[in-house]
Amino acid sequence: MTTPLISHPYGGYEFLPGIDPYSSGVVANPGMEIVHVNLSGPLPWLVGLQRVRLFLERIGQTRHSLCGVELRCPEPHSMDGFIKFNGRYQQLLQEWEMFVDGFNPVARTNVAPVESPPQETMLFGFSYTRPSDHHCPTFVVAGGGELPHRELDSRHIVRLGDTRTAAMLEKVRCVLGIMQHRLDRLGMKAADISATDVYTAQPLFESLTEVIVAEIDAVPHQGVRWFYARPPIEGIEFEMDLRGVRQENVVDLV
């Protein structure tokens, strides 16, 4: 059975339900657009989200317009550690009354930088909705790695423990399939993408030339941003997220 999109009654967007910690993606309603923001400097995730809420209120939006979060963690979590962190993260969103019909609507990417990792999980960026007269739909697809099942269980990781070239290509094809499924469910196409981000500590050349360029129409002329980072769960080697927006801003929340 295909999971339907759920309309956020106050956020100005629809979302594709994912797993407990986050949705699989969001798309702005007509008359609204999604704006993507990078922080001028990362902040501890809890402080950062509190300041995001104040920022949204200052510009005339509410906390419900928050639709995407990007985090950076010190190192990949064990599966149990990942679940434990997600419990604290979800608790904040529940206190803010962000959930809709029992689902977390906010898309998320959370990865671990290889070089100069933070000492604690930090807020790196976020996305929010605002009124707009643009006719082109805007969207964010949440980060996803080679874990094709909704259940957070290491047994489902594709080619677990294998980082040889053939294994990495299989992992990347799995992630591309996840991204395409989410795009389809949001009613978007690869040509609508404005930014493609990949996160891996493994060599990227074969994956880029043999899979990513061939599968994502936007990549040949827009390129790919490669973050030298590991996915947030031990054993996952490749993660990707996507978005299609018209506004990319840098904001100082300090």
The answer as to whether 1 is a domain residue is no
pLDDT of 134 = 86
Residue, of 233 and 149, whose pLDDT is higher: 233
In the prediction, which pLDDT does 249 show?
A: 98
Q: Domain for residue 73, yes or no?
A: yes
User: Considering the domain boundaries, does residue 78 fall inside one?
Assistant: yes
From the centroid of its chain, how far is CA 132? 23
DSSP readout, 81-149? Answer: HHHHHHHHHHHHHHHTT--BTTB---EEEEEEESSS--SS-EEEEEEEEEE----S--EEEEEEES--S
Which structural domain range is residue 40 located in? 6-247
Q: Is residue 254 part of a domain?
A: no
pLDDT at 252 over 60: yes
Q: What is the pLDDT of residue 151?
A: 78
Contact 245, 68 (CB under 8 A): no
pLDDT digits over 79-103, tens only? 999 999 999 999 999 999 999 999 9
What is the average pLDDT value for the chain, to the nearest integer? 95
Could you tell me the two tokens for 222?
């827009």
pLDDT per position as a tens digit, 178-229 = 999 999 999 999 989 999 999 999 999 999 999 999 989 889 889 999 999 9
Residue 141 maps to a domain: yes
Tokens standing for residue 83? 């679940």
Residue pLDDT, tens place only, 129-170: 999 998 889 999 999 999 998 778 888 999 999 999 999 999
With respect to residue 80, please indicate whether it lies within any of the assigned structural domains: yes
Alpha-carbon gap, residue 36 to 57, rounded angstroms: 16
Residue 26 is predicted with a pLDDT of 98
Q: Does any domain span residue 82?
A: yes
What's the confidence (pLDDT) of residue 247? Answer: 96
Per the structure, how many domains does the chain have? 1
Phi-psi region of 59 (alpha: psi -120 to 50; beta: other; left: phi over 0): alpha
Residue 252 within any structural domain of the chain: no
Q: Hey, what are 251's tokens?
A: 């904001």
1 pLDDT higher than 80 = no
CATH of the domain at 232: 3.30.1330.40
